[in-house]
Structure 1
Amino acid sequence: MKTISRKQEIITVASSLFNEKGYKAVSMRDIAKAIDIKAASLYNHIKSKQEILSEIILKVAEEFTTGMENVVSENISAIKKVEKVIELHIDITVNHSQALAALNNDWMHLEEKDLIAFVKMREDYEENFRKIIKQGMDTGEIKSYHPEVILFSILSTLRTLYLWYQKRGKVDVNILKKDMVSVLIKGIV
Structure 2
Amino acid sequence: MGRRTTRSVAGRGTTPVRAAEAVVHDTTWAGEARSAAGCAALLLALLYVIDTAAGTLTVPRGVLWTAFAVLLFAVLWPARVSVGRGRLVSRGLLRRTEVRTDRLVSVRWSDGVAQRLVLRDVEGNRAEIDPKVLVANPPLWHLLDADARTSLDRGVLRCGERALRQMAARVDRETARTVFKVSGLG
TM-score (norm 1): 0.28
Instruction: Say which one has the larger Rg.
Output: 2
Larger strand proportion of the pair: 2
Structure whose residues are more often helix by fraction: 1
